[in-house]
Structure 1
C-alpha cells in the first residue's frame, strides 16, 4: 500500500524538453518579461480610445460569477466571502478582482495575483493583483515546472516564497515562451500610423483653421507705396479687431487691392478612407462589432446572430481562461474552513440580445408549446376513437 502511494505521488515523466544547452545554464532558466512591451501596450490603449473602450467592454461582458456547492452552508459562506473579500484600493468582491486581473491579462498578455492568508492561516484576508513587469518566470527541467521570481531587497530577481499562494495566468501562451500573448500585440504599427494621421490633421487645423489673410496693393512706388501699405495694414487690423468685438466694420481702400486667404488653395488630404481602414483592422482584432464602439459603418445598428455568436465565443474563451484561478481560490477557502464538499463555478448568462428579440423568442416558444400540447391532445383523442371503434366492431361480431 505504501509503495502504491509513492507511485501515485510521483511526478509525471515529460518527454518534450529543449535540446539547447550552453555553459551558463542557470542564466538560461530565467525568462525575463519584456517590460517595454507592457508600457507599449498601455500607451496604445491611452492613444487610441477605440482600443481602450474595446477592452473595457470585454471586461464588462465577461460578467459576474457565483459558486454552487453541494453543501448549502458552505455555499452561503463562500458566497459571502466572494462578495466581501478585500481586493485592494478600496474595492471589495471577487468581481472587482477579476476585472483588474482580466484587464492585465488582455493588455499585457498575462496576469499575476496573490492570495493573502489571514493570521493563523485559517482564512483568506485579501486578494491582490500584481504588476506583471515586476515578475519573471524561472523554468525547470520539465515544462510543467516553473516558479515566479521577483526583486528582493537588493533588487536581484529571486524565487518568491509561498508559490502556492501566487496566481499566474497567461493569455494564449506560445510553445516557446511561458508568457502569454497580449490582445494588442499586432496593433502598435497600426496605432502609430493612425496617430500620424491624427497629428497631421491637428497641425493642419492649427495652420489653416485660424484663417490668415494676405492683403496685396499694386501700384505706386517709393514713399507713396510704403505709406499706402502702412495705411492699409492699419485699416485692416482695425477692421479685424472690431469684428472680433462683435461689430461690423467695412474695409475701404483706394487702388488695386487684393485680399486672399493664406493657404486657402492648398488641398488637404482626405483622411476618412485611411482612418476607416486602420480602424477596421483594430476593431477586427478586438472581436467586438463596430457599432458597440460608436462606429456607424453600416446602415443598421442591430447585432446579427452571427456577430452575437462570435462575441459569445470570445467571452466564453475568456471565462474558460479565468475559471482555474477561481477554482483555486475557492478550493483553498473551503479547505481552510473545513468544508470537504465539491463546488462548481457558475458564470452569469451571456445576454447580447435586446428585450424585443427576447420577447419574440419567448412568444415563439409559447406558440410551439401550445401547438405541441394540441397535437398531443389530438393524438390521445384519435387513440380513444380508434379504441372505441374497435370495441364496437367486436361487439357486433359477437352478436352475429
Structure 2
C-alpha cells in the first residue's frame, strides 16, 4: 500500500552512460536483400566503401585497353585511325579509348553499359561518342530475343522508347538466360562487404576509445564523518588539478599530480583485449578479389609468394582480359563500320587488341634467347643435312 507513497532515497543516484551503436556510413549495405536485379547504387557504394575492389576494377579497365582496327583500304585505314584518335567523348576528353574506359566501367559495375553515337547536323560525320547512365535505361523486348528497344521513364511513369535506336549502344555483362540485363561484377559482394565494414567500423571505434587514453581518477573518502562531508569539494579540486596536469602535458611541459588521501588512477579500457581482425579480414578480401579475377600480387598483396604461382595467375588474368575484350569488340565494330559507311567505304573491319603483357621482362628476354638458339641449331642441322 505504501509503495506508491514511498519517498525518494536521499542517497546518490547511479550514473548511467549510454553509447551510440556506431554504424558505418554505407547504409545501403545494411538492408541489402539479394534480389534478381541488384541496385546500381548499391554496387557503386561497394566501390566507394572498399578501396581494393575499386582498385581491382580500375586495373581491369586499364589492362583491357589498347584497341586497334584494321581495314583493307589504306586511305580508309588512315582516316579511321585519325577518327579513333580524335573523336570527342565528352567532358574534355578525346579518343575512343576514353570512351571505352567509361563504357567498360559501367559494364563491370552496373552489369550493363549504354552509349550513344552522336552525328553532326548534316548526319555525315560522327561528332561524338557518349556514355549514358544505365540506371535510367530499361529494355523492352520484342517478339524474339533479337528484337529489343532501349526505353526510359516518361513523365507519366511509363516506358518511352528512346529516339534513334540505331545509334544507341548497349552491352550486357555476362547476361543470364531469360534476362536482357547483364550481371554486375559486384553482385556477390554485398554480404561479405557488410561484414568487412562492420569489422573496420568496430576497429575504428576501439581505437577511438582505447587509442586516445582516458583515465579514471577515483577518490575514496576515509571512514570519519569530516572526510565524507568534504568529499564533493575534494573531488572537484582533484578534477581541476588533474585537468590542469593533462593540459600542461599537451603543451609539452611535465606537471606532477599530488593528492592527499586514498586516490586511485586507472586507464579506462587498458584491461580489455582487442580482437585480432587479420584472419577474418584476409578471408573476406580473398573472396572479394577472387571474384574480380585480379591476381593478389597486382594489388600489392603478398599472399602468393612463389614465382610459379604468380606466373599461373598472370596467365589466368590474361584469359580474363581476353574475355572482357570480346564483349567490347562488337561496340568498336559498330562505330567503325558506321564511320566507313558515312565516308563511302563498304568494307568490313577487324578489331585487333594490343598484347597483354603481365610477365617479367627478364623472363621474356630469356625466352627470346632460347628461341633464337633453337632457330640457330635448326639452321645448322639443315646445313649439315644439305651437305650429306
Mark yes or no: TM-score above 0.5.
yes
User: Does the 8 Å contact 1:85/1:125 carry over to 2?
Assistant: yes
**Mind listing any 5+ residue stretches in structure 1 that lack a counterpart?**
1-32, 384-400
CA distance in 2: counterparts of 1:367 and 1:81, whole angstroms: 43
User: Does the 8 Å contact 2:80/2:336 carry over to 1?
Assistant: yes
Structure 1 residues 300 and 255: CA distance shift in structure 2, 3 A: farther
Q: State whether structure 2 residue 242 is matched by structure 1 residue 241.
A: no
Alignment of 1:191-270 (within 5 A): 191-220=193-222, 221-270=227-276
Q: Secondary structure at the match of 1:57?
A: helix
Computed over aligned residues only, the root mean square deviation of the Cα atoms, in angstroms, reads: 2.0
How many correspondences in the alignment?
A: 350
* Partner residue of 1:56 out of 33, 55, 58: 58
* Partner residue of 1:343 out of 345, 349, 355: 349
Structure 1 residues 99 and 311: CA distance shift in structure 2, 3 A: same
Q: State whether structure 2 residue 118 is matched by structure 1 residue 112.
A: no
Q: Secondary structure at the match of 1:138?
A: strand
The equivalent of 1:68 in structure 2 is 70
Deviation string for 1:297-350 (max 9, x for gaps)? 244588722111110111000100111111111111101100123321111111
The equivalent of 2:367 in structure 1 is 361
Alpha-carbon shift at residue 234 of structure 1 (Å)? 3.0
The equivalent of 1:283 in structure 2 is 289
CA distance in 2: counterparts of 1:301 and 1:293, whole angstroms: 16
TM (norm. structure 1) is 0.83
Q: Secondary structure at the match of 2:303?
A: coil
Greater C-alpha Rg: 1
Deviation string for 1:6-41 (max 9, x for gaps)? xxxxxxxxxxxxxxxxxxxxxxxxxxx999611111
Deviation string for 1:108-150 (max 9, x for gaps)? 0000111111222211111111111111111111122111112
CA distance in 1: counterparts of 2:40 and 2:293, whole angstroms: 21
Alpha-carbon shift at residue 240 of structure 1 (Å)? 1.4
CA distance in 1: counterparts of 2:194 and 2:286, whole angstroms: 15
Alpha-carbon shift at residue 227 of structure 1 (Å)? 4.6
The equivalent of 1:317 in structure 2 is 323
User: Does the 8 Å contact 1:291/1:301 carry over to 2?
Assistant: no
CA distance in 1: counterparts of 2:286 and 2:116, whole angstroms: 38
User: Does the 8 Å contact 2:69/2:350 carry over to 1?
Assistant: yes
The equivalent of 1:13 in structure 2 is none
CA distance in 1: counterparts of 2:232 and 2:342, whole angstroms: 94
The equivalent of 2:381 in structure 1 is 375
Structure 1 residues 242 and 188: CA distance shift in structure 2, 3 A: same
- 1 or 2, which has the higher helix percentage? 1
Q: Secondary structure at the match of 1:304?
A: helix
CA distance in 2: counterparts of 1:152 and 1:303, whole angstroms: 53
CA distance in 2: counterparts of 1:358 and 1:302, whole angstroms: 15
Alpha-carbon shift at residue 258 of structure 1 (Å)? 2.2
CA distance in 2: counterparts of 1:34 and 1:276, whole angstroms: 28
User: Does the 8 Å contact 2:304/2:310 carry over to 1?
Assistant: no
Q: Secondary structure at the match of 2:187?
A: coil
Alignment of 1:297-316 (within 5 A): 297-299=303-305, 304-316=310-322
CA distance in 2: counterparts of 1:71 and 1:43, whole angstroms: 47
The equivalent of 1:142 in structure 2 is 144
